[in-house]
Structure 1
Amino acid sequence: MTAPDEQPYRSGFACLVGRPNAGKTTLTNAMVGTKVGIVSNRPQTTRHAIRGVLTRPGGQLVLVDTPGLHKPKSLLGRRLNDVVRDTLADVDVIVFCVPADQPVGAGDRFIARQLKEFTAPVVVVVTKTDAASKKQIAEQLMAASSLVEAAEVVPVSAVAGDQVELLEDLLVGLLPEGPPMYPEEQRTDDDVERQIAELIREAALEKVYEEVPHSLAVTVEELVRRPDPKKPGAELVEVHALLHVERQTQKPMLLGRGGEMIKRIGTEARAGLEQLLGARVHLDLHVTVLGEWQDDPKKLNRLGY
């Protein structure tokens, strides 16, 4: 029972929603204090609802980072939108992210209309304030305020850390009273294999040409843990993964001349994997063609979408 002079402990879920590339994942990572979702400058980088757990003395906030809500052009796009809507229907607070460095557009208005279907309070967050002038931020705060009926409108820079803690306080205050749902040390409930696949996809997104990112998916085919022959008492993790593209012409872009590109992707991904797994990693990557997988239900299921 809470003493009269103590604030009640609060816990619950807040869903971050916004158009593609609105800074949702960067903000989630900043609030959780560690990387729980991959980041790139490509739209629709996030393809799953990713939960990041922020535990504070007065409450536990579970942040659900979602794919960008958009007008879909494929079955994958429709399924990603379904992920967002299913999440929005079951959270305590909605965090509507609107980037400060881009004018409010049709995508933001589309999302604002969708949010009218849900009953959770909405906090509008104007993101990426480090990339905008004071005039732009002021104008965006006004424009964002007119989109939805919001409990609060907050300008934030996840990169610079500006007002991130204030936003955390605000969101925890909007949660219902209740005990923590996750252990204090836990930061995400995403399974390890999906985190591995996402880190490999992140590395590839940074390297490949414009036409490949939407067509790229990654699956972990095998994960083997064994004693590290180079470090007695330590572990070596062998990861065998497939990078799936939709067309034969995309395969050489990922492989590169003499396999140079896939080696660069592997080198970049390995650093993140070793940090995630706390062990030396042997990474084996192969590229395969899975024709038009974004519109094939069976192939989407196989890839985990």
Structure 2
Amino acid sequence: MTNLNNQTNKKYKSGFISIIGRPNVGKSTFLNRVIGQKIAIMSDKPQTTRNKVQGVLTLDDAQMIFIDTPGIHKPKHKLGDFMMKVAQNTLKEVDLVLFMINAEEGIGRGDEFIIEKLKSVKTPVFLVINKIDLVHPDELLRIIETYKEKLDFKAVVPISALQGNNVETLLTQIQEFLPEGPQYYPADQVTDHPERFIISELIREKALHLTREEIPHSIAVLIDSIKRAENSENTIHVMATIIVERDSQKGIVIGKQGKMMKEIGQRARVDIENLLGSRVFLELWVKVQKDWRNKANQLRDYGFRDDEY
């Protein structure tokens, strides 16, 4: 790709784009739509994304590296502090910021908080109004005016990440704002995260969907091993441990006669097979680590390292 560009006079553009917004505005849905496959987990429960997830879109004349950040919220534990540090630090290291809002929801304190942070950002900021398929077109003008009074956005783009409406228009406008630069990643690479991380996230996504109440935010997933099955060259054996904070949560995750655990495993296995392009034998375990979200050493063990940001 880069060599081809050297043979022509066409200027290659590249850059890093942060997607920021309140929890559950559709950041991960947008990232998966743009990349064309699932690399960020989706859930109707807020604060699903915990680490920053980088997705890479390579075009003939540009490469866009999108950073999906945890939704802005008031931290309630050390894990929450980590998530906020990740979200805010990405604003300092990118070429463009996409401030995504939910067209269905009015402006709230979370949006006001983000706007205050964005006022000190020197890079261009786009307002991306997501979920426009859920509101009447007449509502859009009111939404746009409300937000434009708060901040001078370089562009305002209404989209539906789920339906794909106007996403190509947004990508075109993003490319216009990117600086000239190199191709950072190979053309066929869609994320900078290792497969181990994505597999753990896919398992956590299924647990989020299937469990209730206090369970989802108490869950972490550790991948114990990924290896070729001894009895089959075409099968990959994945062993993973679901971490919870209390014995009662362990019982819920396992379910009556192991039914919940089986359902989590079956659903996760389908996505993991799509990711790896192989048959997968998925073996799940559940372990209790009391109050792990408030323990710095366990947060590091589970991949939440704030010294990387």
Do both share a fold (TM > 0.5)? yes
Q: What amino acid does structure 2 have at the position aligned with 1:89?
A: K
State the alpha-carbon separation in 2 of the partners of residues 264 and 146 from structure 1: 48
The match for 2:147 among 144, 149, 166 is: 144
C-alpha separation between the residues in 2 aligned to 1:95 and 1:22?
12
- 1:142, CA displacement in angstroms? 2.0
Aligned to 1:96: 99
Mapping of residues 123-202 of structure 1, within 5 Å: 123-202=126-205
Distance of 1:70 and 1:147 partners within structure 2: 20
Unaligned stretches of 5+ residues in structure 1: none
Whether contact under 8 Å (1:236, 1:282) holds in the other structure is: yes
The letter for the 1-side match of 2:146 is: A
Name the residue aligned to 1:243.
242
Q: Which of 25, 50, 55 is equivalent to 2:28?
A: 25
Map of 2:84 onto structure 1? 81
Contact 1:101 / 1:136 at 8 angstroms: preserved in 2? no
Q: Deviations over 1:93-122 (max 9, x none)?
A: 000001101111111111111122321110
Q: Which residue of 120, 124, 148 maps to 2:123?
A: 120
Map of 1:216-235 to 2, 5 A cutoff?
Answer: 216-226=219-229, 229=232, 234-235=233-234
Contact 1:141 1:155 in 2 (8 A): no
Equivalent-residue separation in structure 2 for 1:139 and 1:122 (angstroms): 20
Instruction: Check whether the contact 1:126–1:144 (CA below 8 A) recurs between aligned residues.
Output: no
Q: CA deviation at 1:84?
A: 1.3
Residue aligning to 1:70? 73
Contact persistence 1:46–1:68 (CA under 8 A): yes
Identity across the alignment (%) = 39
* 2:307 alignment counterpart: none
The alpha-carbon deviation at position 136 of structure 1 amounts to 2.8
Aligned to 1:215: 218
Distance 1:39 1:144 in 2: 26
Q: Does 1:277 align with 2:307?
A: no
Matched, 1:253 2:252: yes
TM-score (norm 1): 0.94
Deviation at 1:235, TM superposition (A): 2.2
Choose 139-148 or 198-207, whichever is displaced more: 139-148
| Structure 2 Cα separation of the partners of residues 7 and 137 of structure 1 | 37
Aligned to 1:204, the other structure's residue is in SS state: helix
Q: Render the CA deviation track for 1:175-234: whole Å, top value 9, x for unaligned.
A: 1101211111111111111000000001111100121111111110111223653xxxx4
> What's the counterpart of residue 208 of structure 2?
205
**Partner amino acid, structure 2, of 1:242:** T
| Superposition misfits of 4+ residues, deviation over 3 angstroms | 226-229
CA offset digits 1:108-156 (Å, max 9, x no partner): 1111111223211100100111122223333222222233221001100
Structure 2's unaligned 5+ residue stretches are 305-309
SS where residue 210 of structure 2 aligns? coil
Output the aligned Cα RMSD: 1.7
**What TM-score do you get using the length of structure 2 for normalisation?**
0.93
Q: How many residues align?
A: 300
- Mapped to 1, the partners of 2:150 and 2:108 lie a distance apart of 10
Distance 1:213 1:135 in 2: 37
Give the whole-Å Cα distance in 1 for the aligned partners of 2:279 and 2:122.
47
Separation in 2, partners of 1:281, 1:119: 46
| Cα distance in structure 1, aligned partners of 2:279 and 2:150 | 48
2:222 match: secondary structure: strand
- Aligned residue for 1:39, secondary structure, equals coil
Assess if the C-alpha contact under 8 Å between 1:12 and 1:176 holds in 2. Answer: yes
Residue in 1 that maps onto 2:112: 109
Matched, 1:297 2:296: yes
